Amino acid sequence: MSFAFPPPPPVAVPVAGSDHLFAVHRVYCVGRNYAAHAREMGKDPNKEPPFFFLKPADGVVPAATAIHYPPGTSNYHHEVELVVALREGGRRIPVAQALGKVFGYAVGLDMTRRDLQLAARDLGRPWDFGKGFDESAPMAPLTPASRWSGPDRGAITLHVNGELRQSADLADLIWPVADTISFLSDYYTLMPGDLIFTGTPAGVGAVVPGDRLLGRVEGLEPLVVEILPAL
């Protein structure tokens, strides 16, 4: 037996300071993980636990420098996030063992067609059109966990055209990284190659073609992305 046509290559994220690539399996995303962002979306952070959605693995843009304005939206938003990359998977992973499963960390953007996401949310429909589209997950190269002081604390910021839009600290996460991995592993069999976008701080907003985004997490490779005109 052979493939009817050549299978697509895996999406591969470079590892900073090495020749290695990280092959992406799945992309999990936390919905609301900073209290101030939950409030700006009109929700009470104390009332509901964080929840999850997924993006397609090929929505990741590894070592991104530019992404296209997507079709079907007139309210395209930035969400800067800490991205966790797993080197090992498992089921029912205890919190105390969760960080041992992590290969590394990166800065990522959970790009969002906010108009489509909110319309779906308000109608009780799935978020896929708002969240899981082409080029919706640009990422910087990964930094190995052994070479970073996180993930319990560290500044996370996003600038658009030099102006500060999002600013928080990883210490503000409602669900820390270890808790998030453990929770997910109660619902999914986690695998090497899984990415987890850990949620965005307050200050999300719209971008347009020509805008230049700078995402930073203290101690990790920065992410600089230009928004290109629609294809």
Q: Could you give the CA distance from residue 160 to residue 158 in angstroms, rounded to a whole number?
A: 7
3-state secondary structure of 142: strand
We find the least distance from the C-beta atom of residue 35 to Mn ion, in angstroms, to be 14
The CA–CA distances, whole Å, from 30 to 22, 81, 125 equal 21, 10, 18
Residue 79 vs 221, nearer CB to Mn ion:
79
> Given the rule CB under 5 A, which residues bind Mn ion?
79, 110, 200
We find the least distance from the C-beta atom of residue 147 to Mn ion, in angstroms, to be 25
State in Å, rounded, how far the first CA of the chain is from the last one.
37
We find the least distance from the C-beta atom of residue 123 to Mn ion, in angstroms, to be 20
Residue 143 vs 200, nearer CB to Mn ion:
200
Residue 185 vs 200, nearer CB to Mn ion:
200
User: Which residue is at the shortest CB distance from Mn ion?
Assistant: 110
We find the least distance from the C-beta atom of residue 62 to Mn ion, in angstroms, to be 18
Residue 97 vs 167, nearer CB to Mn ion:
167
Burial class of 194 by CB neighbour count within 10 A (0 to 12, 13 to 18, 19+): buried
Q: Could you give the CA distance from residue 83 to residue 204 in angstroms, rounded to a whole number?
A: 17
C-alpha closest to that of 218 among 80, 126, 79, 48: 80
